[in-house]
Structure formats: structure tokens, C-alpha cells
Amino acid sequence: LPLLSTTAITLISPLLFYIFLLFFFLHSLATALRRVLFFSFSATS
């Protein structure tokens, strides 16, 4: 049982790390996209 939990932790930890990285990447991407859209809209009008 302790071995199983250790294996679960070693499997879940990188997974959580990658999920966090993906979330951070998507958040920054959305922020950049919003900024680009805002600038293009203010440039056209």
C-alpha cells in the first residue's frame, strides 16, 4: 500500500505540474489575444 501511494504521487505530481503549465500558457495566450484584439479595434475605429 505505501508503495502504491508513492507511485501515485510520482505519477500525479508531474501531471499537476503540466496542468498548471498549460493553464498558465492558456491564460497568457488569452491575455495577449485580448490585447491584440483591443489594439486592432482601436486602430480601425
Q: pLDDT by residue (tens digit) across 19-42? A: 999 999 999 999 999 999 999 989
At 1 the pLDDT is: 65
Mean pLDDT of 12-22: 95
At 44 the pLDDT is: 84
pTM: 0.61
User: Is the pLDDT confidence value at 5 over 90?
Assistant: no
Residue 40 sits at φ, ψ, to 5 deg, of -70, -35
* Higher-confidence position of 32 and 44: 32
Q: Could you give the count of Cα atoms lying within 13 Å of 35 in the half-sphere of its Cβ? A: 6
